[in-house]
Amino acid sequence: MAFSRLYDGPEPSRINKWLGQSGVCSRREADALIADGLVSIDGEVVTDAGRKIEPGQTLTLSDRAETALAAGITIVMHKPLGYVSGQPEPDKVPAVRLLTEANRIGPGNAPAADASLPPIGRLDEDSRGLLLLSSDGVVAKAVIGPDSDLDKEYLVRVVGDVTEKKLKILRHGIMLDGRQLRPAYVSRMESFRLKFILREGRNRQIRRMCAMVDLEVVDLIRVRIGPLKLDNLPEGRWRMLTAEERVALVG
């Protein structure tokens, strides 16, 4: 049965804005559904992306629109040390092994053993923290696509002499693999504890950046991806991404 909802707002609202605020889909997805002719108001197919819905009108998404929006799932995990994000070598343990009912927090069910849930952004074996595993292509594009502007936050403990000069280099002066890195936000939280906020995710980027200024990373935890925070999710546990969190991620 197609999705229908009565709009009871006090004044007209753009369709994409209302669907986004309602947690049905992102504004970008709403525009795509309208372009494909999958949205109607009071039985009339909407063709204008700027169309507003009036109080008392009913919006309907076609069955095909619902299928498109339900195409994938996303897991939020607190990855411990010793697990690799993606397809492992024979002697490595993949993070998907942790997707059991015993490790689940909150509603939902553990995905099938053969479910395809690739990592959305790497987190190395010797790093821990927030990891997304997803079959949702829209989420993947929003987080790691070429046009993604979501930043990622890391708390990093280092060994070595942390100076203001080194922090300045980490923020602006590093080249990796012959390419200049985007400016990074790097601040000192404690004597040997730094906060990194990056807008890219090169292979082992923070460890390599630190090595170039004679700092050794001894602990690295990712605590945020865009608006999504690790918060109090225990290490080794996982939960489902909520509809509201998905909308916040994909914009």
Is it the case that residue 158 has pLDDT exceeding 70? yes
- Whether 214 is catalytic is no
Q: Please, which pLDDT band fits residue 13 given cuts at 50, 70 and 90? A: very high
Q: Please, which pLDDT band fits residue 178 given cuts at 50, 70 and 90? A: confident
User: Rounded to whole angstroms, what are the CA distances from 169 to 40, 51, 162, 166, 178?
Assistant: 54, 49, 11, 5, 16
Task: Over range 243-248, report the average pLDDT.
Answer: 86
Task: Over range 70-74, report the average pLDDT.
Answer: 75
User: Rounded to whole angstroms, what are the CA distances from 236 to 33, 103, 119, 131?
Assistant: 37, 7, 15, 11
Task: Round to whole Å and give the CA distance between 222 and 130.
Answer: 5
What is the reported pLDDT for 70? 61
Which residue has tokens 């070595």?
A: 160
What is the reported pLDDT for 24? 73
Q: Please, which pLDDT band fits residue 23 given cuts at 50, 70 and 90? A: low
211 contact partners, CB below 8 Å, separation of at least 6:
none
What is the reported pLDDT for 91? 86
Least confident of 30-44, 110-124, 155-169: 110-124
Task: Over range 160-176, report the average pLDDT.
Answer: 92
Catalytic residue among 36, 91, 124, 126: 124
Is it the case that residue 88 has pLDDT exceeding 90? no
What are the tens digits of pLDDT across the range 209-221? 999 999 999 999 9
What is the reported pLDDT for 132? 96
Q: Of all residues in the chain, what percent carry a pLDDT higher than 70? A: 95
Q: Write the burial class of residue 8 (CB in 10 Å: 0-12 exposed, 13-18 middle, 19+ buried).
A: exposed
Q: Please, which pLDDT band fits residue 59 given cuts at 50, 70 and 90? A: very high
What are the tens digits of pLDDT across the range 98-148? 999 999 999 988 888 777 788 988 899 999 999 999 888 778 878 887 778
Taking all residues of the chain, what is their mean pLDDT, rounded to a whole number? Answer: 89
What is the reported pLDDT for 173? 78
Task: Over range 213-231, report the average pLDDT.
Answer: 97
Is it the case that residue 68 has pLDDT exceeding 70? no
